[in-house]
């Protein structure tokens, strides 16, 4: 009896040691500033960033949580959308990603990863500031997947401008159309195809809660995304469709290096957070999975924060 107890105790200690060895310090898990200046033209490519972002290409392990599901993700070629696409495929979903034609090389990498996961992956390129393309995007996704039950409105436009006086009407219009009009058009087109149990997920930001002075227009659109989630959740809850959002803080994506931040801010990007670094897209993937999974069935109208210790949601 004594020897059996000792054996159990030893086994328990070994398991505890293994758990301790597997702990990861979040402060040093990923690259920390300073970073090099690296300006890119809009929309930017993940493949040209230094360091290249981690979207979970080598790290995300699926467990079949979304087997048989069908997802449409805008901005799925890079950044958070790419991380969600990889995770969804490895969880068993078929995925359509929307992206700009200039982002084709990044999109090709994502589609190859989806295929490697044994799922069907399709890309549809075009400009979501066009209502007609938004309708075509949804119709194309429905045709390729046989339907949609996960819609991720993730694509966004962000340009840092120090003064309101320097924001052009054209620039303001681009931000509004990309971040507000496009999710409206896409969601409206998708609604007839969403059955009870389907989910809509919007990528918002910490900006609605603590807006930066140089992101005047972007912050307003992200606040609109929060209202979109909370209002639509009330409208669609009685129909069995859940609507939630994610509010990232500073995340290392092409959105930032292609004008979303001034280049001097890129050098210290993420340093001001309690963790002292920017997030990587891979660190948000599990949130998008949880919000799409049937196990999250009581979560609707919620905004999930992921900002390294900053932000309010």
Strand partners for 99: 125
**Residue 260: half-sphere exposure toward Cβ, Cα within 13 Å:** 22
Active site residues: 218
Q: Measuring CA to CA, how many Å separate 241 from each of 13, 152, 200, 303?
A: 46, 13, 8, 16
**256: DSSP letter:** I
Measure the CA–CA gap between 39 and 76, rounded to whole angstroms. Answer: 21
The CA-based diameter of the chain, rounded to the nearest angstrom, is 81
Measure the CA–CA gap between 93 and 87, rounded to whole angstroms. Answer: 9
Q: Measuring CA to CA, how many Å separate 173 from each of 75, 176, 178, 217, 258?
A: 19, 5, 8, 9, 18
């Amino acid at each position: 009896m004594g020897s059996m107890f000792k054996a159990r105790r030893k086994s328990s200690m070994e398991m505890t040691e293994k758990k301790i060895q597997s702990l990861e310090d979040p402060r040093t898990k990923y690259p920390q500033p300073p970073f090099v200046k690296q300006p890119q033209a809009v929309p930017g490519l993940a493949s040209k960033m230094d360091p290249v972002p981690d979207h979970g290409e080598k790290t995300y392990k699926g467990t079949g949580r979304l087997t048989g599901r069908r997802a449409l993700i805008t901005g799925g070629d890079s950044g958070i959308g790419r991380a969600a696409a990889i995770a969804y495929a490895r969880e068993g979903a078929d995925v359509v990603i929307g992206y700009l034609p200039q982002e084709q090389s990044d999109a090709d990498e994502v589609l190859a990863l989806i295929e490697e996961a044994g799922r069907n992956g399709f890309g549809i390129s075009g400009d979501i500031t066009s209502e007609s393309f938004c309708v075509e995007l949804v119709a194309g996704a429905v045709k390729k997947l046989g339907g949609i039950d996960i819609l991720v409105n993730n694509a966004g436009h962000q340009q840092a401008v120090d003064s309101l006086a320097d924001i052009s009407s054209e620039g303001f219009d681009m931000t509004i159309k990309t971040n507000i009009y496009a999710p409206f058009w896409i969601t409206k087109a998708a609604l007839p195809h969403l059955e009870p149990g389907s989910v809509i997920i919007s990528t918002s930001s910490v900006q609605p809660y603590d807006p930066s002075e140089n992101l005047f227009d972007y912050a307003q659109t992200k606040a609109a995304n929060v209202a979109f989630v909370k209002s639509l959740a009330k409208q669609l809850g009685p129909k069995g469709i859940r609507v939630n959002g994610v509010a990232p803080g500073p995340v290392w994506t092409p959105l930032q290096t292609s004008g979303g931040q001034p280049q001097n801010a890129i050098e210290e990007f993420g340093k001001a957070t309690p963790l002292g670094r920017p997030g990587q897209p891979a660190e948000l993937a599990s949130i998008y999975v949880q919000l799409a999974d049937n196990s999250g069935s009581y979560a609707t109208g919620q905004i999930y924060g992921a900002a390294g210790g900053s932000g309010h949601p």
